Amino acid sequence: MIITILDIALPSIIASIIVVYIITKFFPKDSIKMFLLSFQFMLFGISLFVLDYVAQSSEHILLFGGIFFVILGLLLSLSAFYREK
């Protein structure tokens, strides 16, 4: 069975768009929004790590994308924490 990038990435992108819409509609506080978005970015980065492992690409572009999204999620969670104080 061959797993392509679209088989894994497309449902993840659609779910991310839905989660962003739900977060912005139902959570009025900015710090909670930022924390939940940071959690989503970290999960998306981890899924890129897994996708890079499954694809076993020699270029590791997905690995660098995963590192970027995990770091972005950590920075957003730190800024949400300090905004709350």
Q: What is the pLDDT of residues 13-48, one digit of tens each?
A: 677 777 777 777 776 667 677 777 777 777 778 777
Q: How confident is the model at residue 2 (pLDDT cuts 50, 70, 90)?
A: low
Query: What does the domain layout of the chain look like in residue ranges?
Result: 24-84
- pLDDT score, position 69: 82
Please state the three-class secondary structure of 1-42 as a single string: CCCCHHHHHHHHHHHHHHHHHHHHHHCCCHHHHHHHHHHHHH
Stronger pLDDT, 73 or 7, i.e. the higher one: 73
Confidence of residue 1 (pLDDT cuts 50, 70, 90): very low
| pTM to 2 decimal places | 0.60
